[in-house]
Amino acid sequence: MRHLPYPLDLGPMVHIIIAPDSYKGTATAEQAARLLGEGVRSVIRDAEITLAPMADGGEGTAATFDGRTITLPTTDAAGRLTEASYVFDGSTAYIDIAAASGLPAVADNKVPLTGDTYGTGVLIADAQTRGASRIVLCLGGSATSDAGTGILVALGATPMNAEGYSLPKGGGSLGDLDSIDTAQLNIPAAAVEWVLLTDVSATVPQAATVYAPQKGASAEDVMLLDAALTHAAETLGIDPHTPGFGAAGAVPVGLYWLSTMLHGTADHIHVLPGAPLVADALGLPESIPQAQLVITGEGAFDEQSLTGKVVGTIADLVEGTDATLAIAAGRIDVDPGADVITVAMGEPGDVEKQLFDAGAQIAADYLRISTAQG
């Protein structure tokens, strides 16, 4: 990494916003923002630095919202006892599906056909008993492909086959879905306002073909899940090709059916890209036009990065302003365009040093560009 050997004063204060995603498995968004900021300040001593750790609906999104952290016993995607947390502000619960139903907890024994979201449903039901009238469910990082049926079971609804027997848990059995019994439904929990934050725009078939292999599905499993999830969506009256409805193993399918069944309309459920909503919550649309340099980043900058992910959302907000965009990533696989500062940090090693050095290099490159432009 190259950077200036001493901090500089630049006259008028430079306003810098640092808004990275998490670097999965190596640094949280909060850690990345802090370390990048320390690197920047080693070069531009008097910069006004705003840290705005971001998320896109994946794991860590709930923590970007203000509120009290609630932790309780629940189950993971394999049905094993665990603990999980969510954020509660008195009327809204912010819940990462990865908190209870995430892939890391079952990495030792992946459950592509039988994993379910029941544990997430436990968190949802708990939040409603505490007074939550709105559930913001962040859909990235799940280990499941169950169309949200585990959540439905936790809320008292039972998926049934044509013979009237309850289905085994997980997406592998959804090819036999015929109806959902709501006789024991927890109506107060089911009737909340749902905001589902997606980190991908996947359709239901893509939940199987693109994302199930990451959850341990074999080629044969993928074919089974593709048919099962598509059948479940069609049985519940949902177009399987709706963008976003394949997120988190097609969780929006079950929850959309639940909300529209109870209310008679889709007015109480919203499936939205996560990154723009988080950016709005942090005030970035207002603050970025006032900045001179905006730094974002993620583990790998690739062809998906500019399609609804954190880096793409930040790039969209910088476009048309006078700010310079900088990206710090482990890999830079595609060209982000002209006038964008990039730093490729390489394979994870001493991540704290890599992020610090990336911040310093971005600051040095920004100074060089600024000087060249007069």
330, 281, 288, 361: CA torsion to nearest 10: -20
Examine the domain organization and report whether 201 and 346 are in the same domain. Answer: no
**Model confidence over 15-24: pLDDT tens digits?**
999 999 988 7
**Cα first-last separation, the chain:** 25
pLDDT score at 372: 65
Q: How many CA atoms lie within 13 A of 57 on its CB side?
A: 23
Helix, strand, coil percentages for the chain (3-state, nearest 5): 40, 20, 40
Q: What are phi and psi of 254, to 5 degrees?
A: -65, -40
pLDDT score at 275: 92
Query: Mean pLDDT throughout 69-89?
Result: 98
Examine the domain organization and report whether 200 and 81 are in the same domain. Answer: yes
Q: Which pLDDT band holds residue 370 (cuts at 50, 70, 90)?
A: confident
Examine the domain organization and report whether 42 and 70 are in the same domain. Answer: no
164 lies in which domain range? 62-275
Tell me, yes or no, whether 342 lies in a domain. Answer: yes
Pull the structure tokens for residue 257: 């059916």
**Lowest mean pLDDT, pick from 12-16, 51-55, 302-306:** 302-306
Query: Mean pLDDT throughout 293-312?
Result: 88
| Contacts of 224 by beta carbon, 8 Å cutoff, 6+ apart | 113, 172, 175
Q: What are phi and psi of 299, to 5 degrees?
A: -65, -45
Query: Mean pLDDT throughout 14-37?
Result: 93
CATH number at residue 101: 3.90.1510.10
**Model confidence over 260-278: pLDDT tens digits?**
999 999 999 999 999 999 9
Q: How far is Cα of residue 290 from the mean position of the Cα atoms in its chain?
A: 27
